[in-house]
Structure 1
Amino acid sequence: MKILLVGGNGFLGRSLGTSLKAFEHEVFSAGRDKTNNYQMDLLNKTTISQALLTVKPDLVVNLAGAFESGSSENFKVNSLGAANLANSVEGISKQIYLLHISSATEPRNFSEGINYESEYSRTKHMGTQAIKDAITNEGLNARIARVQNCYGQNQPANRFVSWALNKLRCNELITLQHPLRIRDFCIVDEAANGLTMMINEIETWRPELIEEVGTGQGISLKDAALNMCKILGVSDELVKTNLNNRVDAHPEEIALLGKSLKGKCVSSFSEGILRVLGGN
């Protein structure tokens, strides 16, 4: 297949591109950064159409996600950007598949008064809802995959695993605001492989399903940090918790893997951290 990765030069995008090429797919990246094969701004429909008409892809994968800035304009990439991409794909050809990558921090089911984990979660959820609506109401040829918390080499420094690992390696204290929060962490190359397996069978994938990518094994932030201490050989005393009588409104989030297990990541958290430290 000819595949266009929107956000293809991002953390997950680079690993996914490598995995797809191993199966002899023809892969191109698109995004705001000039290092991409094609420049695309999801807030500018003209740039989306130009890239689609030039590449003529069989599949577009939306990996775009803005989370590093509090700018409302930046976060529009997550919500309005997803809708713009869906509209552009549908307008050019009903034969193009669109695979939208949702975040593990998005709620699975919308309800009134929901307490989003962050502005990133809220806006990513809006984008996913736009894709769902387009599938249901407009017959968009799209699929959705929910990817759990990826980590690995070159993970952005402000993400949990990278942040904690870098601090602990320098024997610096870390303070966990929600130490009992349960998350499913998966090493990035396994997440990319899981997505590749899904893409290879996309013609059999029912559009009403949201496929999951992850280990299916949860671990609390505190236990994850203590695991890192053990592997690094540093004192557990470096991990501080600030319960502060806060109630964590966010449920445990682990992959709800289906029968096919195409998106299952197999490495435990400890195995993954050892791979990161070993440079693999």
Structure 2
Amino acid sequence: MRYLLVGSNGFIGKNVAKLLREGNEEVFLADRGNTDSENNVFVDLFDKESIKRVILKVKPDVVLNLAGSVENTEKALGINPVFTRNLLDVILGLKNMPIKKIIITGSAGEYGEVAGVGPVNEDTPLSGQSYYAKSKIMETSIAKDYKEKYNLPINIVRIFNPVGAGMHPRFLIPSILRQIEAVNRDEKNYIEISRLDSARDYINIRDIARAIILIAQKKKTKYCVYNLGSGVATSNGELIRQSLQLESSKKNIEVRQTSENSENRVADQADMFRLKSEFSWNPEISLEETIKEIISDQAKQTQN
């Protein structure tokens, strides 16, 4: 199959592209940062003519929309839903382009605060209040609407917390590791964290890539929306414990909580029944192995 991967320079995009190429799939990488070459194309998702040019050039069987903003600012509202609407409008207008599958990525942030305990399934109401969460709710609502109205072959993959080598250093695990390294260099004697009891569902980026490709390769799926997480809620306290153990820190490190108030529960554990039962998918990379990957990646970045 021919894949058009939009957003190829992002964290998820790079890993999906790598796995597709390892499987000898024909993949074309589209991004605003690309220049046209044999398998790389420039695309501006604000410009429908740019999108149309790329689709007519590539003639893809599968379109993977992994582009968008991860910034939690008002700007995201004018990016994520706009990108997806423009892409779907162009595909809808190309009547003779037999695209077999379109993948749109959502976020666990869409669920917002949730009641009770245990895994959060795909039928949970979407109540996310951050700018980023609202932008993804708008985006995935557009995708569901186009699937229902126009019978476009769309699947939405609602990703929980992607982690692994190459992730942005501002996120939590890299931040914890940098603080531990600072303690080991005697630059400080404590670690700061918002709350030890706050939890999230962390999933290795390579497991994410594998799941996205599995969904993309199945012509007809049982559901439109699939959660994608590890199915395990991991607290900040457990993240720090594992990180200290893997960094082999022998110092007596104080952990300071910067917030006195407990966090209301958010979607911290994915219900993975749909993906596991239909695709026989299971996460293969443990959180411990993932933290090791990030430690190694940060060491390489420091050397460079």
Pairwise TM-score range, normalised by the shorter structure: 0.7 to 0.9
Matched, 1:19 2:35: no
C-alpha offsets along residues 75-111 of structure 1, whole Å, 9 cap, x if unaligned? Answer: 4221121111111112114621211111122225575
C-alpha offsets along residues 10-49 of structure 1, whole Å, 9 cap, x if unaligned? Answer: 1111111111122221111112113672222222212111
Q: Of 59, 64, 69, which residue of structure 2 is paired with 1:61?
A: 64
Matched, 1:253 2:257: no
C-alpha offsets along residues 184-208 of structure 1, whole Å, 9 cap, x if unaligned? Answer: 11221222122222223x21313x4
Paired residue total: 275
Q: Kindly provide the amino acid, as one letter, of the partner of residue 138 in structure 1.
A: Y
1:125 is matched with 137
When residues 238 and 230 of structure 1 are mapped into structure 2, their CA distance, relative to the original with a 3 A threshold, is farther
Q: Kindly provide the amino acid, as one letter, of the partner of residue 28 in structure 2.
A: F
Alignment of 1:109-148 (within 5 A): 114-116=127-129, 118-148=130-160
Alignment of 1:1-280 (within 5 A): 1-34=1-34, 37-68=40-71, 70=73, 72=75, 74-93=76-95, 95-96=98-99, 97-107=101-111, 108=122, 114-116=127-129, 118-171=130-183, 173-200=190-217, 202-206=218-222, 208-234=223-249, 235=251, 237-258=253-274, 259-278=277-296
- Which has the larger displacement, 95-104 or 127-136? 95-104
CA contact (8 A) 1:30 1:38 kept: yes
CA contact (8 A) 1:31 1:39 kept: yes
Structure 1 Cα separation of the partners of residues 63 and 26 of structure 2: 12
CA contact (8 A) 2:48 2:90 kept: yes
- Which has the larger displacement, 89-98 or 131-140? 89-98
Structure 2 Cα separation of the partners of residues 110 and 158 of structure 1: 29
When residues 276 and 35 of structure 1 are mapped into structure 2, their CA distance, relative to the original with a 3 A threshold, is farther
Bigger Cα Rg: 2
In the alignment, structure 2 segments of 5+ residues that lack a partner are 112-121
Q: Kindly provide the amino acid, as one letter, of the partner of residue 266 in structure 2.
A: H
CA contact (8 A) 1:184 1:254 kept: yes
Over aligned residues, Cα RMSD in angstroms? 2.5
Structure 1 Cα separation of the partners of residues 280 and 208 of structure 2: 10
Structure 2 Cα separation of the partners of residues 106 and 236 of structure 1: 39
Q: Kindly provide the amino acid, as one letter, of the partner of residue 199 in structure 2.
A: I
* Structure 1 residue 51 displacement after superposition: 0.9
Structure 1 Cα separation of the partners of residues 154 and 33 of structure 2: 25
Structure 1 Cα separation of the partners of residues 68 and 262 of structure 2: 28
- Which has the larger displacement, 150-159 or 125-134? 150-159
Q: Kindly provide the amino acid, as one letter, of the partner of residue 174 in structure 2.
A: S
- Which has the larger displacement, 229-238 or 129-138? 229-238
* Structure 1 residue 224 displacement after superposition: 1.3
Structure 2 Cα separation of the partners of residues 155 and 174 of structure 1: 21
- Which has the larger displacement, 54-63 or 241-250? 241-250
When residues 247 and 100 of structure 1 are mapped into structure 2, their CA distance, relative to the original with a 3 A threshold, is same
CA contact (8 A) 1:213 1:257 kept: no
When residues 238 and 267 of structure 1 are mapped into structure 2, their CA distance, relative to the original with a 3 A threshold, is farther
When residues 237 and 30 of structure 1 are mapped into structure 2, their CA distance, relative to the original with a 3 A threshold, is same
When residues 239 and 177 of structure 1 are mapped into structure 2, their CA distance, relative to the original with a 3 A threshold, is same
Q: Kindly provide the amino acid, as one letter, of the partner of residue 228 in structure 2.
A: V
Structure 2 Cα separation of the partners of residues 267 and 95 of structure 1: 35
CA contact (8 A) 2:44 2:51 kept: yes
* Structure 1 residue 133 displacement after superposition: 0.8
Structure 1 Cα separation of the partners of residues 88 and 252 of structure 2: 47
Q: Kindly provide the amino acid, as one letter, of the partner of residue 250 in structure 1.
A: V
When residues 237 and 63 of structure 1 are mapped into structure 2, their CA distance, relative to the original with a 3 A threshold, is same
- Which has the larger displacement, 76-85 or 157-166? 157-166
